[in-house]
Amino acid sequence: MSCDPMASTLFIKRDKYFLVDHGQDGLRGELREFALDAGVDLEPALGRLVAAMSLIELKSQLVQSRDSASKYAPPLEVLKKLDGIPPSGITLATLAESQIGKVVTSFKSEDTVTKWGQETADLAKSIVKKWKKVAKSQGASAAPSDPKKSVAAVASTSKPTSPLDVGKSEAQKYADALDPPTRGKVLMVLRQGMLEGCQFEKSKGKLLEGKTNEDCASLAFSAAKSTENAIRNKYGSSVSKDYQKKAMTLKFNLKKNTYLAGQMLLRLLEPETLVDLSTEQLATREAVEAAEGEGFGVGRRAILGR
C-alpha cells in the first residue's frame, strides 16, 4: 500500500513506540511499532525512521513519474521533496537498501535535460552529490565505538532479514545434531531449495497466498525433514553417492519448479512420492501432476481455487 510518510503521528503506550500513517486517497492507514532502548534520544531515531519511509515512498513516486509521465507529478516536484529530507535523517544503510541513488542518477542524463529541463537534471546532480558526502562520512566512521548498540542504532544500520534466513538458526541447530553430518547438510540444502521455490511461488501464484515468511520457514523445515528421511529410507545410507545426488537434484528442482515447492510445503505431495519422481517428472508442474495420476487435480485444485 502506498503511504505518505510525512502524514504520520507518533504515540507511546506501555513503553512501546508506534508510528501511525493516516493513509491517503481514502486508503486505510498503517500502524508501525518500533523499539528504543532506555535513554535513547527519541528525536533523531524518529527522524531516521521517517526519512527511511520517505525515501522508499519517494523512490516509488520518482519511478512512476519517469515511466508514466502523464499520470503523475513531474520528476522535479519529487526531487524537491527528496532534497528536503534533512541529511541528519539519512543513513548509509537506508541509501543502500532503498537503492534510490540509482533512480535519481538516471535523471542526470542529457535525455533528462531534453525531456524534463535543465533544472531537473541539475537538482538530481545536487542530490547525488549530497548523498555521496553522507555515504563517505558515515562509511569512514562505520566501526562502532560502543559494542552495546541500542535497538534503534541497529535498526538504522543493519540490512533487512532475508526470507531465506527466517528460522535458519533453529533449523541449523537441529541439523548440526544429526549423525552423520551429511544428513544435516542435506537437510539444510533441501530447506533452502524449498524456501527459494516458495518465494517465487508467493510472487506469482496462489498456492501460498497469505503465507508469511515465518509460515514458509516452518513448513519448509518440516517438509525438508520428512524428505530427508524419505531419501535415506530409499537409499539406505546418507553417505552414499545416490543419497547425495538425489538431494541435490531435488534442491535444484524445488527451486526451479515453484509449484513443486508449494506442493511440498503444503503436504499435497508426499515425500516418498517426491523421492520416486525422475528428473523429467520433477521439471514442470504438468509433469508432477501427470506423475500423480489423473485423479490428482480435481479435489486439490478445487481446494486451491484453481
Q: Clarify whether residues 71 and 192 are in a common domain.
A: no
pLDDT at position 123 is 92
Q: Crossing angle of helices 241-256/213-235, nearest 10°? A: 150
Q: Clarify whether residues 141 and 204 are in a common domain.
A: no
Residue 205 one-letter amino acid: G
CA-to-CA separations, 144 to 152, 154, 157, in angstroms, rounded: 14, 11, 11
Q: Clarify whether residues 145 and 169 are in a common domain.
A: no
Q: Is 297 inside a domain boundary?
A: yes
CA-to-CA separations, 189 to 37, 149, 246, 251, in angstroms, rounded: 38, 34, 11, 6
Q: Is the dihedral of CA 128, 9, 72, 99 positive or negative?
A: positive
Which residues fall within 8 angstroms of residue 120, CB to CB, at 6 or more apart?
Answer: 74, 75, 76, 79, 107, 112, 113
Q: Which residues of the chain have pLDDT under 50?
A: 1-17, 19, 21-29, 34-42, 140-160, 294-306
Q: Count structural domains, the chain.
A: 2
Q: Which residue, of 98, 131, 157, is where some domain finishes?
A: 157
Q: Is 83 inside a domain boundary?
A: yes
DSSP string, 46-109: HHHHHHHHHHHHHHHHHHHHHHSGGGS--HHHHHHHHHTS-GGG--HHHHHHH-HHHHHHGGGS
- Measured distance CA(14)–CA(107) in Å, rounded: 46
Q: Is 205 inside a domain boundary?
A: yes
List the CATH number of the domain containing 117: 1.20.930.10
- Position of cell 525422475? 278
Q: Is the dihedral of CA 109, 111, 116, 117 positive or negative?
A: positive
Q: Which residue, of 122, 157, 192, is where some domain finishes?
A: 157
Q: Clarify whether residues 257 and 171 are in a common domain.
A: yes
Statement: the pTM of the whole predicted model exceeds 0.75: no
Quote the domain boundaries for residue 294: 163-304
Q: Which residue, of 107, 129, 157, is where some domain finishes?
A: 157
